[in-house]
Amino acid sequence: MTTVEKIRSDIEKAKAKIAEQQKKVRDLEARISEEENLEIVRMVKAVKLERGELAAFLKAYASGEIALPTTNTEEENDDEA
């Protein structure tokens, strides 16, 4: 095998590894999204609001009619940024 052929072979191997890693990243990102969605569903169910009540709460929050209190942890994170 000539040097050029070896380099081309190495490039193809590297491209295959890159494609494999990109797929792995996409799969992991999908898993994160799924877990975040499940976490949100669990939190919503823990509040035990009816569908209409939840919709009204979210609409009021989105419009700024109500605000949630901040915790010390959130304030500390803002200070660090």
6-29: average pLDDT:
98
| pLDDT over threshold 80, residue 1 | no
Pair 57, 49: CB distance under 8 Å: yes
20-46: average pLDDT:
96
51-72: average pLDDT:
89
CB burial readout 8-19, b (16+ within 10 A) else e:
eeeeeeeeeeee
Lowest mean pLDDT among 6-15, 37-46, 49-58, 71-80: 71-80
Task: Sketch the domain layout of the chain as residue ranges.
Answer: 3-67
16-36: average pLDDT:
98
